[in-house]
Amino acid sequence: MTLTATRPGKGSGAARPRRSAPRRTGRGTGRRGGRRAGSAWTPWLYLLPALAVLGGLLVYPLYQLGLISFLEYTQAQVSGGRPTSFRGFGNYTDLFSDPQFRQVLLATVLFAAACVVATLAVGCALAVLLTRVRALPRLALMLAALGAWATPAVTGSTVWVFLFDPDHGPVNRLLGLGDFSWTYGRYSAFALVLMEVVWCSFPFVMVTVYAGIRAVPAEVLEAAALDGASPWRTWRSVTAPMLRPVLVVVTIQSIIWDFKIFTQIYVMTGGGGIAGQNLVLNVYAYQKAFASSQYSLGSAIGVVMLLILLAVTLVHLRLLRGQGEEER
């Protein structure tokens, strides 16, 4: 304790002792800083096992995929008859100079776009229907849709091939098409695969959009009905804008799923159709890598697909971030 002189005020006869402020040391600050630093690393410690598993299952295969796409890697290199050589971007040059690859890429984009539009149309229409029917029909439709969603792709494709079989299928008999073969023509085969893809994909859209519709305030829909808006006008002007975040999610997910379709095309068209008329990128990569033993070209096709889907995913994340900022 130190004594300091004070100026006597009114009525004060002597100086009063005053304690000096204790000096602050850096010990407390250091402990808090250490705790904050430790708490910042705690989430990463919890995520470390999952990151290690994902690194082993995803990062290393992607590294090998990219590495092989820059090499000359065929059956001769696999069997050890010829040494592996570095080609750089030679495989990508050969790929993009191939007219068949450009044709398959265009067909994949158009087919995926058609599948996405049809899936969204059917899923949204049935989601609106679920809001207008009673409990028992709603339950039956939900169970039927979930059954289609849970069916494996191989099983569903095989069943659809049987249904549209020209000799024993019931669809041709009901439609009076005789021995018409759906898988013989290019466009009819793509149409058949599109119907199967929509059949197994619309339940995701239907359930997600239905949940979003149920979250729309009932007062808003009642106000639109009192103003004389038709159901289509209500959906277009009221419900759809409020469901924009949900619609963005289901659209991006559908694009990713439909762009990398393999099983339905491979099973229903017998590996890509007659003379490869129904090839998509996944089936084309499979044929190059395993049927022709051109593993480097197949890897290059896989890298191209990865970059396209990565671009779609980045657009997805950007849209979600923009919607989050608008909500704030």
Residue 279 has phi, psi (to 5 degrees) of: -75, 140
Whether pLDDT at 115 is above 70: yes
Asked if 299 and 95 touch (Cβ cutoff 8 Å), the reply is: no
What's the pLDDT score for residue 316?
75
Report the pLDDT averaged over residues 246-262. Answer: 90
Q: Where are the alpha helices (DSSP H) in the chain?
A: 27-54, 60-69, 75-78, 90-96, 99-130, 135-150, 153-163, 170-175, 186-214, 218-226, 231-234, 240-242, 244-259, 263-268, 281-286, 295-327
What's the pLDDT score for residue 18?
54
Query: What are the pLDDT digits (tens) for 57-68?
Result: 888 889 999 999
Angle at CA of residue 23, ends 19 and 28, nearest 5°: 135
CATH of domain 85-327: 1.10.3720.10
What's the pLDDT score for residue 84?
81
Q: How confident is the model at residue 323 (pLDDT cuts 50, 70, 90)?
A: low
Whether pLDDT at 252 is above 80: yes
Q: How confident is the model at residue 34 (pLDDT cuts 50, 70, 90)?
A: low
Query: What are the pLDDT digits (tens) for 269-320?
Result: 998 989 889 999 999 999 999 888 899 999 999 999 999 988 988 887 787 7
The whole-chain average pLDDT of the chain stands at 84
Report the pLDDT averaged over residues 43-65. Answer: 87
Whether pLDDT at 7 is above 60: no
Whether pLDDT at 233 is above 80: yes
Residues in the chain: 328
What's the pLDDT score for residue 299?
93
* Nearest-angstrom CA–CA distance, 67 and 101: 21
In this structure, of 7-11, 21-25, 276-280, 293-297, the range with the lowest mean pLDDT score is: 7-11
Long-range contacts of 139-144 (CB under 8 A, 24+ apart): 142/207
Helix 135-150 with 186-214: angle, nearest 10 deg: 130
Asked if 265 and 196 touch (Cβ cutoff 8 Å), the reply is: no
What proportion of the chain, given as a percentage, has pLDDT over 70?
Answer: 86
* Nearest-angstrom CA–CA distance, 248 and 256: 12
Query: What are the pLDDT digits (tens) for 177-225?
Result: 888 999 999 999 999 999 999 999 999 999 999 999 888 888 888 888 8
Neighbours of 151 (CB within 10 A): 14
Long-range contacts of 184-193 (CB under 8 A, 24+ apart): 184/274, 186/273, 186/277, 186/278, 189/268, 189/269, 189/273, 189/277, 189/278, 190/111, 190/278, 192/160, 192/164, 192/268, 193/111, 193/261, 193/264, 193/265, 193/268, 193/269, 193/278
- Annotated domain spans of the chain: 85-327
What's the pLDDT score for residue 78?
80
Q: Position of tokens 């969603």?
A: 149
Q: How confident is the model at residue 265 (pLDDT cuts 50, 70, 90)?
A: very high
Q: How confident is the model at residue 14 (pLDDT cuts 50, 70, 90)?
A: very low
Residue 51: Cβ-neighbour burial (10 angstroms; 0-12, 13-18, 19+): exposed
In this structure, of 30-34, 62-66, 132-136, 229-233, the range with the lowest mean pLDDT score is: 30-34
* Nearest-angstrom CA–CA distance, 262 and 102: 18
Q: How confident is the model at residue 167 (pLDDT cuts 50, 70, 90)?
A: confident
